[in-house]
Structure 1
Amino acid sequence: MPNMPSILCHMNILLEDGSTADSTRASGKPVRFNLGDESLSPAFESEIKGLKQGDKHSFTLQPEDAFGVSNPDAIHHMDKSRFPTDLTLEPGVIVSFAGPGGSEIPGIVREVLGDSVTVDLNHPLAGQVLTFELEVEQVLEQ
């Protein structure tokens, strides 16, 4: 298998309404994409393949080519007593759950009805049509 490059770039992720969902500029830390390691969807990889240092590229992906479609099995109804009493439970609040191997899984509170809290463990950008704006800082040959 030939060596595949990595691309170091700044990225903005825009929602369909044009608002910014995420930006590496805020942290000042560019993101690294490794081509050919199957960490990227084929559609995303085909958009960035061949980019060079200094290139600016913008493209839009459907949910299945970005962060996936929203999985109804990842939406859970939990009892309010399972949450810290000092946590304000309201739609949009992000809560963290212990995942396998000590990892953290973020969940978004979707609804609070009485003692029932609906938590969505899908990626926050799942199910969204997204526009990616990339500015290539560096191309790294592996």
Structure 2
Amino acid sequence: MQQVKAGDTVKVHYHGRLTDGTTFDSSEGREPLEFEVGSGSVIAGFDTGVTGMAVGEKKTIQIPVDQAYGPKDPGMLVEFPKANFPEDMKPELGMRLNMTNGSGQVIPVAIIDIKEESVILDANHPLAGEDLIFDLELVSIGGGASRIIMP
């Protein structure tokens, strides 16, 4: 029976949750996630978790912080003046915003603290600092990116 290896294109149904049981993402009701194993398109622990699986196999994997989105980086916290917000916007704790840096790159942030004259924005990935748990089901194994299918 064929098993997943680096370079294979796979389709996987998944249910992702935190260690407290909170669901953060799931493919339920959607198409399975398709990616090339080892290409860097998913977190390292997910790549490792599907490697060796066979079609139809189900398993649960635990991904530590360093194989997921990494630890929270204090350098990704930014103090931002309230005066720079649009007049019609009232900052609230937990509010998610998109900021643009000097080169035009969009950076998602969350308001984690509100002070008198400023807010503290967190530009870390929302799952940074978290160990993750995934229930996986391997749906299919393809041949990989270099495989050519002739019409």
TM-score by length of 1: 0.85
2:37 aligned partner: 35
2:23 aligned partner: 20
* 1:28-52 CA distance string (max 9 Å, x none): 1322232122444554322210222
Is the CA contact (8 Å cut-off) linking 2:6 and 2:51 kept in structure 1? no
User: How far apart, CA to CA, are the structure 2 residues paired with 1:31 and 1:122?
Assistant: 24
Segments of structure 2 that go 5 or more residues without pairing to the other structure are: 145-151
Q: Determine which structure has the larger helix proportion and give its number.
A: 1
User: How far apart, CA to CA, are the structure 2 residues paired with 1:99 and 1:23?
Assistant: 31
Matches within 5 A, 1:82-97: 82-97=84-99
1:52 aligned partner: 54
Segments of structure 1 that go 5 or more residues without pairing to the other structure are: none
Distance 1:3 1:45, change over 3 A: closer
Is the CA contact (8 Å cut-off) linking 1:3 and 1:141 kept in structure 2? no
**Which secondary structure state, in structure 1, belongs to the residue aligned with residue 28 of structure 2?**
helix
Deviation at 1:105, TM superposition (A): 1.6
Is the CA contact (8 Å cut-off) linking 2:17 and 2:133 kept in structure 1? yes
Distance 1:9 1:87, change over 3 A: farther
Give the aligned length.
140
User: Which of the numbers 9, 16, 25 marks the counterpart of 2:12?
Assistant: 9
Larger Rg: 1 or 2? 2
Deviation at 1:70, TM superposition (A): 0.7
Q: Percent identity over the alignment?
A: 29
Deviation at 1:103, TM superposition (A): 4.4
1:66 corresponds to 2:63: no
